[in-house]
Amino acid sequence: MGNTTIYDVAGAAGVSLATVSRVLNNPEKVKEETRQRVLKVIKELGYRPNVIARGLASRKTTTVGIVISDVTRASVSEMLGGIGDIAQNYKYSVKLFSIREDMDVNDILQDVVAEQLDGVLYLNDELSEKSVEEVRRIFVDNQIPYVLANVVSDDPSVPMVCIDYEKAGYEITKVMIDDNRKDIYLLSTARRYSVNDKKEAGYTKAMLEAGLEPKIFRTSGDTHVNRQHFATFFKDKKIDAAIGVRDSIAVSFMNIARDNGIKVPENLAVAGFQNTKYALLSRPNLTSIDVPVYDIGAVSMRLLTKLMNSKDVDNIRISLPHYIVKRDSTRNK
Tell me which residues touch DNA (CB under 7 A): 3, 5-7, 14-22, 24-26, 28-35, 47, 49-50, 53-54, 56-59
Tell me how far the alpha carbon of residue 54 is from its chain's centroid.
30
> Do residues 162 and 319 lie in contact, with contact meaning Cβ atoms separated by under 8 Å?
yes
Residue 34: which of DNA, a copy of itself, none does it interact with, CB under 5 to 8 A by kind?
Answer: DNA
Query: Which H or E element spans position 271?
Result: strand 269-274
Between 32 and 154, whose beta carbon lies closer to DNA? 32
> Do residues 250 and 187 lie in contact, with contact meaning Cβ atoms separated by under 8 Å?
yes
Q: How many CB atoms lie within 10 A of CB 276?
A: 22
Shortest Cβ 154–a copy of itself spacing (Å): 27
Regarding 141 and contact with a copy of itself (CB under 8 A), the answer is yes
Residue 19: which of DNA, a copy of itself, none does it interact with, CB under 5 to 8 A by kind?
Answer: DNA
Shortest Cβ 111–DNA spacing (Å): 14
Q: Angle formed by the axes of helices 105-114 and 129-141, to 10°?
A: 30
> 232 exposed, middle or buried (CB, 10 Å; 0-12, 13-18, 19+)?
exposed
Mark 178-207 with x for binding to a copy of itself (rule: CB under 8 A) and - for no binding: ------------------------------
SS3 string, 55-114, reads HHHHCCCCEEEEEECCCCCHHHHHHHHHHHHHHHHCCCEEEEEECCCCCCHHHHHHHHHH
Mark 35-74 with x for binding to a copy of itself (rule: CB under 8 A) and - for no binding: -----------x-xxxxxx-xx----x-x--x----xxxx
Rg (CA), the chain: 25
Residue 45: which of DNA, a copy of itself, none does it interact with, CB under 5 to 8 A by kind?
Answer: none
Residue 310: which of a copy of itself, DNA, none does it interact with, CB under 5 to 8 A by kind?
Answer: none
Candidate list 21, 150, 282, 300; residue touching a copy of itself; CB under 8 A: 282
Candidate list 16, 25, 110, 232; residue touching a copy of itself; CB under 8 A: 110
Between 224 and 238, whose beta carbon lies closer to a copy of itself? 224
Measure the CA–CA gap between 295 and 13, rounded to whole angstroms.
Answer: 45
Shortest Cβ 181–a copy of itself spacing (Å): 23
Candidate list 80, 242, 289, 299; residue touching a copy of itself; CB under 8 A: 80
> Do residues 184 and 215 lie in contact, with contact meaning Cβ atoms separated by under 8 Å?
yes
Regarding 214 and contact with a copy of itself (CB under 8 A), the answer is no
Measure the CA–CA gap between 330 and 333, rounded to whole angstroms.
Answer: 10
Using alpha carbons only, what angle is made at residue 268 by residues 267 and 273, rounded to the nearest 5 degrees? 160
Candidate list 5, 93, 131, 319; residue touching a copy of itself; CB under 8 A: 93
Shortest Cβ 31–DNA spacing (Å): 3
